[in-house]
Copies of this chain bind each other. A is one copy, B any other.
């Protein structure tokens, strides 16, 4: 039987938080916990966290079977995520699990495998780097309740070309103080699964304490939630006359 509540797992690489005191100060329990708490506050969600350091990176078959939407933040240790776990996550996306990829997760194994591209981009960490995010799909569930734009006072710059396949929907586009632009909110589907990439979240800034950023993550989780049971996926040989 299926839970009525949406079952969300927030995965955090959890490396910067232990190596950089500045990051630890902004996120004493890790970014994953800050994000998980915000999603949980919205209600009607069961939220758990998982990290790189957990056995099987916290993503056992049982955990994934009981996850409707997975949120992913990684940066310094993409290469340490085991291939077998990545393939397990990919298979689960194909079955219908939603996937929210945050910020430097653009270079994660799972995102690159699902996109089929390098997912590379331009970047800069600089003082006074203001990011302005513009809504390019008003009415989309992911920007529910948002104004036509919002500002993050301090963020890392990501600039085009962002090497992803043409998105299904481009929901947000950012400009930066240096004149660069970036497709900051983009959606895809792979198999029965919905994927939302959302740009903001450099570890050195308190981005995941920003009300607008959290609102979009929460909206994204709801948008990516599957319509279980996802029937109809069956392959292989068929005899003439079976229809």
Q: Is the CB of A116 within 8 A of B118?
A: no
Give chain B residues whose Cβ lies under 8 Å from the Cβ of A243.
Answer: 132, 149, 151, 178-180
Give chain B residues whose Cβ lies under 8 Å from the Cβ of A233.
Answer: 138-139, 148, 161, 163
Q: Is the CB of B189 within 8 A of A165?
A: yes
Q: Is the CB of A235 within 8 A of B144?
A: no
25 A-B Cβ contacts within 8 A? A115-B116, A117-B191, A120-B236, A123-B236, A124-B238, A126-B239, A126-B240, A129-B240, A130-B179, A132-B181, A134-B161, A135-B160, A135-B232, A138-B161, A147-B231, A148-B161, A148-B231, A148-B232, A159-B238, A160-B173, A163-B235, A166-B189, A170-B183, A175-B175, A181-B181
A residues engaging B (CB < 8 A)?
Answer: 90, 94-96, 113-118, 120-124, 126, 129-130, 132, 134-141, 143-149, 151, 157, 159-163, 165-166, 168-170, 173-181, 183, 188-193, 226-227, 229-243
